[in-house]
Chains A and B, each alone.
Chain A
Amino acid sequence: MRYFLKKLSSLIITLLVISLLSFAAFSVIPGDAALAKLGTDATPEAVEQLREKYGLDKPLPERYLKWLAGAVQGDFGASYRYSTKTVSELIASRLPVTVIMAVMSFIIIIGVSIPLGIIAAKYSHKPPDTVINVGSQVTMAIPSFFLGIIITYIFGIILNLFKAGDYISPQKDFWACVRYLIFPSIAVALPKIAMVVKYLRNSLLAEVNKDYVRTAYSKGNTKDQVFKKHIFRNALIPVITFVAMVAAEILAGSLVIEQVFGIKGMGNLLVTSISSRDYPVVQAAVIYITSVVVIINFAVDILYQLADPRVRYS
């Protein structure tokens, strides 16, 4: 319980620090939002008026506290670019598709990489291992946007299995959206599969020669039992951290893949807001990404502690 509270407090502190840092950073950028919105030839009075409307005339600490008070209640202010929408509305409309795609990619990653990792470790330095190794080395070298373009070309244009750019939001038609997201999810998953396979293989190979494995054999366990009950479980512990990082990355929004397939998710929102200097949205997106990373790390810490009691005392 104390461990839990300690981790929880560090989670909250990290979030606060990052929110403060990003808030301060966006405030010192030359040329504020009012100026950006009205253009350089706006009258000083008009700029002053808009500044007042956004609250930009107040001192920084006051603005931060006000923002924080709103943020805690899920109110991140108004977007500069879409004058009719609040930041929260924008995020609420973009988040579902990112989450759906993350879940789909995650299922693909786990479903494919665990069997492949086991095969590679079982036949280490034999042909199946070499094939998997070379395959993952090459896959890792393909940038995700190129992979996306290749997938569009082969499956979309040559085989006509889906129509690129024909994105339907999940709010409109959930299943059509899921169908559209199959290929983008594969594009997101492939490079990650390569990494997880490599990681799992090395982790498994590191375990096989340990003493406890010999003990388990000497007790009369079969190869299968030793593998399932002892090696695999222990090898999985370091892999969890890695998989968690992958999960955080895909949940944070696959910027590039969303761009390639024209998906309107969190990644797309972040890129367009950065381009149009829509700082309240960027700020909220930063907080979202941070929260995802920090909360997943928190979950991993807790899981670890449950799986391996030694962690608590170190």
Chain B
Amino acid sequence: MKKRNYYLIIGIIITVVILVFTIIGQFWTPYSVTATSSSLKSLAPSAQHLFGTDNLGRDIFSRVMNGCGTTFFVAVCTVAIGCAVGIVIGALTGFYGGMLDEVVMRINDIVLSFPSVLLALIFISFLGKGTYNVILALGVLFIPSFARIVRSEVIRYKSQEFVKSAQVMGASNLRIIFVHIIPNTKVSLLTSVAIGFNNAVLAEASMSYLGLGVQPPVPSLGRMLAEAQGYIVSAPWYAITTGIVIVLIILGFSLISEGLRVYQD
């Protein structure tokens, strides 16, 4: 009997639940996301305010629901940039090889050997703060990891029978790469997409925490944690609830990628 893939199941459940709350949070939240109230300052979690309220009397649960949207938006955009460009670069270098391959892979190795949040920070210092610059910086940084995986997969498949038969039938190189080879790489790609999400959420939260990412008044989990840290004595639930949500999002994606690994090869 095949063993149940608990990693994958739990990962998907966590991710779907948070995603549902996030999507609802973009249209409706139990309380206003921005309205402050002096009478509701720093209330502990209760039935009315599931996560309590913050130092300005805003409902933390509502802000988290809405703030997850920013987090997912940044993650989806960065992974999309990294994945799309990475596939093209990986496919071309893997298929054609030669000088181009040598040079591109060297650059890849250099980029990959640097701590990614640091590199993103250096990018931000060129581009300036803000949500779109973070997306751009992280997106570019994610290209090498995707390119490397696609490249090794393309090299693995390019000498196989089905590629040869496509060549005999007169398919162009581009058609062979994108119609015949790339679809075969979907399991490895999915795994790296899940890891990519995991890293993107982590990186975005770190940048926003440092004040270099998403700017106020847009709620973002990283920023909320940075604020919450100042009230850790008077309102510890603020930091704890927000932090646990970030942990759950990341855990969801990392469990999915861990679970998908089983299907590789």
Which A residues fall within an 8 A CB radius of B?
14, 22, 25-26, 29, 137-138, 140-146, 149-150, 152-153, 157, 245, 248-249, 252-253, 255-256, 259-260, 270-271, 274-275, 279, 282, 286, 289-290, 293, 297
Contact = CB atoms under 8 A, between A and B. Distances in A.
B45 interface: no
Contacts of B202: 143
Contacts of A290: 114
A248 B225 CA distance: 27
A145 B209 contact: yes
B210 A259 contact: yes
A146 B201 CA distance: 13
B206 interface: yes
A146 to B, nearest CB: 4
A149 B243 contact: yes
A286 B233 CA distance: 36
Interface of B: 110, 113-115, 117-118, 121-122, 124-126, 198, 202, 205-206, 209-212, 222, 225-226, 228-229, 232-233, 236, 239-240, 243, 246-248, 250-251, 254-255, 258
Majority DSSP secondary structure for residues of B touching A:
helix
A299 to B, nearest CB: 13
Contacts of B124: 274
Contacts of A29: 126
Majority DSSP secondary structure for residues of A touching B:
helix
Contacts of A256: 117, 206, 209-210
Given A140-B254, A146-B246, A252 B115 contact: yes
Given A271-B212, A293-B114, 14 more contacts: A137-B251, A138-B251, A142-B243, A143-B205, A143-B206, A149-B225, A152-B229, A252-B118, A255-B117, A255-B118, A255-B206, A270-B118, A289-B115, A293-B115
Q: Give the most central of B115, B198, B209, B250: most A CB within 10 Å.
A: B115
A297 B115 contact: no
A142 B118 contact: no
Contact of A248 (B115, B122, B206, B258): B115
A293 B210 CA distance: 23
Q: Give the most central of B125, B202, B222, B229: most A CB within 10 Å.
A: B125
A138 B236 CA distance: 21
B255 A271 contact: no
A140 B121 CA distance: 21
A146 B255 contact: no
24 contacts: A137-B254, A141-B251, A142-B243, A143-B205, A143-B206, A143-B243, A146-B246, A149-B225, A149-B239, A150-B243, A152-B229, A153-B236, A153-B239, A249-B115, A252-B115, A252-B118, A253-B118, A255-B118, A256-B117, A260-B229, A271-B121, A289-B114, A289-B115, A293-B113
Nearest to A260: B229
Nearest to A250: B115
A146 B122 contact: no
A149 B229 contact: yes
B233 A157 contact: yes
A290 B119 CA distance: 10
Closest 10 A/B residue pairs (Cβ): A141-B251, A146-B243, A141-B250, A249-B115, A274-B125, A145-B209, A25-B126, A141-B247, A149-B239, A142-B247
A274 B247 contact: no
A103 B236 CA distance: 31
Q: Give the most central of B122, B202, B243, B250: most A CB within 10 Å.
A: B122
Nearest to B128: A29
B206 A144 contact: yes
B225 A145 contact: yes
A255 B212 CA distance: 12
Nearest to A271: B210
